[in-house]
Amino acid sequence: MLKIAGIMSGTSLDGIDVAIIETDRFESSKVEIIDYFQKEYPAEIRERIDKMINNRHLDAGMVLEEVASLNLKLGELYAEAVRTASSKAGLQLSELDLIGCHGQTVFHKPGGSKTVSLQLGSGSVIAERTGVDTITNFRLKDIAAGGEGAPLVPLIDFLLYRSSHSHRFLVNIGGIANYTWLPADCNRRDVRGSDTGPGNMMIDAGVQLLTDGKSNYDKDGAIASQGELDQILYDRLFKHEFFDRAYPRSTGRYDFGRQYTEKMVKEAYARGVKDIDIIRTLTEFTASSLVESFQEELASEEMITLKKSDCLEVIISGGGSHNTTLLELIEKEISERFHNYRTDLISLADKDYSQYDIPAIDADQKEAVAFALLARESIMKRQGNLPSVTGAKNPVITGDLTPGDTADFE
């Protein structure tokens, strides 16, 4: 058995997640979470990352220095988080076999073979500070093979969540929302997936703008629950060129970050739209773009096997699974668009898994667990991407290995 630490820090900049798991060396769904640790970024680091990704108050001549500096600093923070998680689990670092770290995305511009993506968090620093073999840069090999380097979690969704009897959409709502489509009794070739647009990203940015930074997000969807849809803003958001791109597609702050959100908010403000209605509309936009992607997926020629008697399960994870209003809107959209089918919305934030025959991995743990398992696939020299999801020309072994053991030069 292997003990692996998976590290995830998402586009919402809410901090670092570390999941320490035990799993076998085989391509199986056997995963036990030994412990899980979550830590917010220090305010100074969050501000530095925010400045970089939103091009705020950073002299052009300082950009390269800041990128290099943050790469090292984030490596230190990730290593510290692994040390803390290991101690919390009662483990010595020497008992870990491997670390898998996604890193902090600071730039992602999709474009097929011209995709550009950068994640910070030095694998060399992590390996040196922990002494553990470390896998980083999971996206780049897929990009080299002509893919967009994202999403990568669908492979792990296939390994952990495929069902012999239920059709499933696995949904992660982080800064960006994405899905994995797993038809019942599927094989790798049947798996589909894509980013669907913003998840929490525009909602968070809207709250920050409208509260002058006093709030970073809409807790439980409380603001959105008080507002009403502004149809003009809603329609305007769906005119974004992202929605004209062919599937599979990926996105990020380049498309839906602070600059775009600020532009949309200002337009709405100029028409006298109330704050609560702006947040409501951004929330409905996230829900609608997500469920519309499901509809487009099921309408494709290869997805005509769904029968009205079949069960369609939508399993939601990520920070957005805690937004009660967003979940209610997603459930409403699903019931309206798929009323001919038996549907079941399952939020992993509810932590009630027994009746659904799914792993006991909660909403916040899932992506960190995924990168622990992607590290396992990498070290075992197995495929780490799904070309049907990323658009790559072929399967590849993803990730860069930095050995952690002390070198012996004798």
Output the known binding site for ATP.
Answer: 10-17
DSSP conformational letter for 245: S
Residues 41, 190: Cα–Cα separation, whole Å: 38
DSSP string, 334-363: HHHHSTTSEEEEEEGGG---GGGT--S--T
Cα dihedral 193→217→351→38 (10° resolution)? 90
Residues 20, 162: Cα–Cα separation, whole Å: 23
Q: What are the tokens at 381?
A: 């020299």
Q: Which residues of 182-221 are buried (b: 16+ CB within 10 A; e: fewer)?
A: bbbebeeebbbbbbbbbbbbbbbbbbbbbeeeeeebbeeb
Length of the chain: 410
Residues 64, 324: Cα–Cα separation, whole Å: 41
**Do 377 and 155 form a contact (C-beta atoms < 8 A)?**
yes
Q: What are the tokens at 248?
A: 């599979």
Surface-to-core class of residue 169, CB atoms within 10 Å of its CB (0-12 exposed, 13-18 middle, 19+ buried) = buried
What is the H or E stretch that residue 101 is in?
Answer: strand 98-109
Q: What are the tokens at 398?
A: 């993803």
Residues 312, 184: Cα–Cα separation, whole Å: 9
Output the known binding site.
Answer: 10-17
Q: What are the tokens at 155?
A: 């492979």
